Amino acid sequence: MSAPAATLDVPPPPGRPLADIFFSRPELLTLLLLLPPLLWIGVVYVGSLFALLLQSFYSLDDFSGLVVHEFTLATYTELLEEANVQIILRTVTMAAMVTLACSIIAFPIAYYAARYAKGWTKALFYLAVMMPLWSSYLVKVYAWKLILAKEGIITWFAGVTHLSWVVDGLLAMPVIGGPSLSFSYIGTFLVFVYIWLPFMILPIQAALERVPANLIEAATDLGADPRQTFRTVIFPLALPGIIAGSIFTFSLTLGDYIVPQIVGNSRLMIGQAVYTLQGTAGDIPLAAAFTVVPMVIMAGYLWMAKRMGAFDVL
Amino acid sequence: MSSAVRFENVSRHFGSVRAVDGVTLDIAPGEFFAMLGPSGSGKTTCLRLIAGFEQPDEGDILIFGDSVAGVPPYRRAVNTVFQDYALFPHMTVGGNVAYGLMIKGVGLAERETKAREALAMVKLSGYEDRRPSQLSGGQRQRVALARALVNNPKVLLLDEPLGALDLKLREQMQEELKALQQDLGITFVFVTHDQGEALSMANRVAIFNDGRIIQAGTPLEVYERPNSRFVADFVGSSNVLPPDFAARHGGVARWTSLRPERIKVSDATASVADDHGSTEGVVHAINYQGSVTRIGIEAGAVRISAAVPAGSSSTKIGDKVRLIWPKSAMTAMESEA
């Protein structure tokens, strides 16, 4: 032991008084740490969101092409026109399908990773899930365009395995079909599912990892076979994770404008509509009104999930 | 009448570890049976073998006469109270208790009635709508008990159920569990590392070490007549006297157990009756423990510990004393181990 350096009659080394103040008043330190993010969230983030909301209550003068800075619901009336409602319905349906597919594909992967993967298999799991996120989003989407194109690998593979009739059959289906996979809703859907899958796997895995193994044993002990155990214990406890994942996949799909632009038919999604409206058309109010739609949908979705008890475990 | 649970030379290995090693065991119907042993002695694995979470590598297990080889836990008429209760956090207390009935397809009205009855039995009436997270440790324990008992199991397995409770609560639960078992007449198999708990609650105790049963018998038998040094040490504490010492001091030439509370600490000059053994020694430690005082004495190379009622002795460290005990208190053991 060195000499008793902490006795009161030893003068504190320079710089100590600040540490002493923080030690005796921890809330000061918390405030100091929180101030920058609070300013960011409060001013830059919520502030601009509010400005956006405000824009949706203005309107565009058709004649002059200028924004009229007066409160009106005219823009929202315009939003409810047939063509715009079609865009919203199309996007919501796509987002719902993508979310459903992602959760169905993600669950077994997440379950395996949470329950069985240990050591290097777990590392491999994280690598496999995260690696697609390390590469450029645009590159991935263009790669998919090539994969799905008429001259792409899927068409070729279907040809050599004499399964062309499956692809042709899919493309011949009304609405979801089209001239080729890369010019159909099927293609858009496939790319969305691929791109957002990690955002579904990780929250489900985190939720499943927190389910203690002895709850599964308890259910088994009380007479539940594996199917009943899944339905009554594992699934309800994983539900917050599924909801969290679906918030990602749902909202990301609702707002995306690149994937449907590159892979898909020419019918617009919300993101593309916003992109066109605020750009060439200069109709900022309607673009703002369009962006309010996903927010309202997500708020409604979360409210419903809460009502159905999805967050009771948290 | 067949045994409630019967182990026939059962072994369970985990890699090279013999967690359970050739255990043969009979538990009678209606018995309160305790499996006692240090951690890693195989007692919990035995419980899991009965529940069905583990399958034996060798031997056979019979529950009420039927072999349960290959029968999964959900088809066994046994229920478990888990060590950390394992209550379902997404269900209410009532939902937890009614879970087994719901799985069996019992109607809503009936399972609510039965869950209420089960909760009343463990003195938690009116707690149906709470969440497990809103309960104290003792209350969760009771819910876990009700959740198992509502299924009317043939055998109830309890895996150190009182381990997480504080002392007062534990003593209270011990009494309640014992009363409950007597009322219901269900066979209880209770795993614990607490010898006091095992002795006070069980009709019969099996003492485990290294995957084997060292001794099985009534609490009185294992306490008064330990068959080995391990049992003598583990169940209560005991003085284990070497054969030559035992032979010279009123016993036979075998390893001998002598319980501390049977030893009287007297003046060095005290006289000794014929049916008593005695030795001289020097006090080297005095340890006040509330109701008793433990006195450590060195008698030549042998260290002996005596437990005397608090305040009944005024000996000091370094005093020369005479230890006197009835010869009948000396138990010659079968093995040294």
**pLDDT per residue over B102-115, tens digit each?**
999 999 999 999 99
Q: Does A221 touch chain B (CB under 8 A)?
A: yes
Mutate to test the interface with A, among B76, B83, B103, B133 (most CBs of A within 10 A): B103
What number of other Cβ atoms are within 10 A of residue A5's Cβ?
7
Decide if B86 and A232 are in contact by the 8 Å CB cutoff. no
Mutate to test the interface with B, among A215, A216, A221 (most CBs of B within 10 A): A221
Decide if B53 and A236 are in contact by the 8 Å CB cutoff. no
What is the residue-averaged pLDDT of chain B? Answer: 90
Decide if A220 and B72 are in contact by the 8 Å CB cutoff. yes
Range B297-323 burial, b when 16+ CB lie within 10 A, else e: bebeebebbbbbeeeebebeeebebbb
User: Average pLDDT, stretch B74-87?
Assistant: 93
Per-position DSSP letters for A160-197, written without gaps between them: HTT-HHHHHHHHHSTTT--SSGGGSHHHHHHHHHHHHH
**pLDDT number for residue B337:** 57
Dist CA A52 CA A66 (whole Å): 17
- Residue A250 distance to chain B (closest CA, Å): 25
Dist CA B142 CA B331 (whole Å): 40
For chains A and B, what is the number of CB pairs under 8 angstroms?
63
What is the residue-averaged pLDDT of chain A? Answer: 88
Task: Decide if B218 contacts B201 (C-beta within 8 A).
Answer: no
Write out the two tokens for B193: 């590392």
Predicted ipTM of the assembly: 0.84
Q: Which amino acid is at A73?
A: L
Write out the two tokens for B162: 């009182």
Please name the member of A222, A224, A312 whose beta carbon is closest to the beta carbon of B90.
Answer: A312
Task: Decide if B153 contacts B142 (C-beta within 8 A).
Answer: no
**Residue B123's closest CA among B176, B84, B175, B167?**
B176
Task: Decide if B73 contacts B155 (C-beta within 8 A).
Answer: no
pLDDT-derived band of residue A168, with 50, 70 and 90 as boundaries?
confident
B82 interaction partners in chain A (CB closer than 8 Å)? 214, 217-218
Dist CA A86 CA A80 (whole Å): 9
* Residue A314 scores a pLDDT above 70: no
Residue A58 carries which DSSP code? S
User: Average pLDDT, stretch A56-61?
Assistant: 87
Packed helices A119-134 and A82-115: angle between N→C axes, nearest 10 degrees: 160
Q: What is the dihedral of CA A160, A162, A163, A169, to 10 degrees?
A: 120
| Main-chain phi, psi angles of A59, to 5 degrees | -140, 165
pLDDT digits (tens, 9 = 90+) for A234-251: 999 999 899 999 999 999
**pLDDT number for residue A166:** 87
A217 interaction partners in chain B (CB closer than 8 Å)? 53, 73, 80, 82, 86
User: Average pLDDT, stretch A84-106?
Assistant: 95
What number of other Cβ atoms are within 10 A of residue A76's Cβ?
15
Dist CA B170 CA B162 (whole Å): 6
Residue B64 carries which DSSP code? T
Q: Do you know the residue count of chain B?
A: 337
- Residue A204 distance to chain B (closest CA, Å): 17
* Residue of chain B minimizing CA distance to A240: B90
Which alpha helices (DSSP H) does B226-305 contain, by range?
229-234, 243-248
Dist CA B209 CA B199 (whole Å): 17
Dist CA B88 CA A237 (whole Å): 9
* Residue A5 scores a pLDDT above 70: no
**pLDDT number for residue B190:** 93
Q: Which amino acid is at A299?
A: A
Decide if A221 and B74 are in contact by the 8 Å CB cutoff. yes
Decide if A221 and B89 are in contact by the 8 Å CB cutoff. no
Write out the two tokens for B128: 């149906």
- Residue labelled with tokens 């095992």: B198
A228 interaction partners in chain B (CB closer than 8 Å)? 103
**Residue A114's closest CA among A225, A219, A224, A242?**
A242
- Residue B45 distance to chain A (closest CA, Å): 14
What number of other Cβ atoms are within 10 A of residue A291's Cβ?
21
User: Average pLDDT, stretch A263-283?
Assistant: 86
Element (DSSP H or E) covering residue B332: strand B331-332
Q: Look at A2-11, A62-71, A127-136, B71-80 and tell me which has the smallest mean pLDDT.
A: A2-11
Dump strand ranges (E) for chain B: 5-14, 17-27, 32-36, 58-63, 66-67, 78-81, 155-159, 187-192, 204-209, 212-217, 239-241, 256-258, 264-267, 276-288, 292-299, 302-309, 320-326, 331-332
* Residue A256 scores a pLDDT above 50: yes
Is A282 or A34 the better-scoring residue by pLDDT? A34
* Residue A298 scores a pLDDT above 80: yes
Dist CA B23 CA B58 (whole Å): 10
Packed helices B137-149 and B93-104: angle between N→C axes, nearest 10 degrees: 20
pLDDT-derived band of residue A151, with 50, 70 and 90 as boundaries?
confident
User: Average pLDDT, stretch B148-152?
Assistant: 94
Residue B328 carries which DSSP code? G
Strands B58-63 and B187-192: unpaired
* Residue of chain A minimizing CA distance to B86: A215
Dist CA B160 CA A274 (whole Å): 63
User: Average pLDDT, stretch A137-155?
Assistant: 90
**Residue A153's closest CA among A166, A141, A144?**
A144
- Residue labelled with tokens 């059962």: B10
Task: Decide if B30 contacts B11 (C-beta within 8 A).
Answer: no
Helix or strand or coil: residue B90? coil
Decide if A215 and B88 are in contact by the 8 Å CB cutoff. yes
Q: Which amino acid is at B269?
A: T
pLDDT-derived band of residue A163, with 50, 70 and 90 as boundaries?
confident
- Residue A312 distance to chain B (closest CA, Å): 6
Is A90 or A306 the better-scoring residue by pLDDT? A90
CA-to-CA dists, residue B208 to A164, B83, B195, B213, angstroms: 68, 18, 12, 5
Strands B204-209 and B302-309: unpaired
* Residue of chain A minimizing CA distance to B53: A217
Mutate to test the interface with A, among B47, B63, B74 (most CBs of A within 10 A): B74
User: Average pLDDT, stretch A277-301?
Assistant: 88
* Residue B59 scores a pLDDT above 50: yes
Task: Decide if B134 contacts B92 (C-beta within 8 A).
Answer: no
* Residue B313 scores a pLDDT above 90: no
Query: How far, rounded to the nearest angstrom, does the alpha carbon of residue A67 sit from its chain's CA centroid?
Result: 32
N- to C-terminal Cα distance for chain B? 35
Write out the two tokens for B335: 């093995």
Dist CA B183 CA B185 (whole Å): 6
pLDDT-derived band of residue B164, with 50, 70 and 90 as boundaries?
confident
Residue A233 carries which DSSP code? I
Q: Look at A139-153, B153-167, B308-322 and tell me which has the smallest mean pLDDT.
A: B308-322
**Residue B326's closest CA among B280, B273, B256?**
B273
Strands B204-209 and B187-192: unpaired
Query: How far, rounded to the nearest angstrom, does the alpha carbon of residue B239 sit from its chain's CA centroid?
Result: 21
B74 interaction partners in chain A (CB closer than 8 Å)? 220-225
* Residue A6 scores a pLDDT above 60: no
B88 interaction partners in chain A (CB closer than 8 Å)? 215, 218-219, 233
pLDDT digits (tens, 9 = 90+) for B203-224: 999 999 999 999 999 999 999 8
* Residue A179 scores a pLDDT above 80: yes
User: Average pLDDT, stretch B44-63?
Assistant: 94
pLDDT-derived band of residue A85, with 50, 70 and 90 as boundaries?
very high
- Provide residues of B within 8 Å CB-CB of chain A: 51-53, 72-75, 78-80, 82, 84, 86-90, 99-100, 102-104, 147-148, 151
**pLDDT number for residue B311:** 74
pLDDT digits (tens, 9 = 90+) for B294-312: 999 998 888 999 998 877 7
- Residue B85 distance to chain A (closest CA, Å): 9
CA-to-CA dists, residue A158 to A11, A165, A264, angstroms: 82, 8, 20
Q: Look at A274-283, B24-33, B121-130 and tell me which has the smallest mean pLDDT.
A: A274-283
* Residue A1 scores a pLDDT above 50: no
Decide if B51 and A221 are in contact by the 8 Å CB cutoff. yes
Please name the member of B74, B88, B90 whose beta carbon is closest to the beta carbon of A220.
Answer: B74
Decide if B103 and A214 are in contact by the 8 Å CB cutoff. no
How many helices (DSSP H) and strands (DSSP E) are in chain A?
Answer: 16, 2
Q: What is the dihedral of CA B197, B199, B205, B208, to 10 degrees?
A: 60
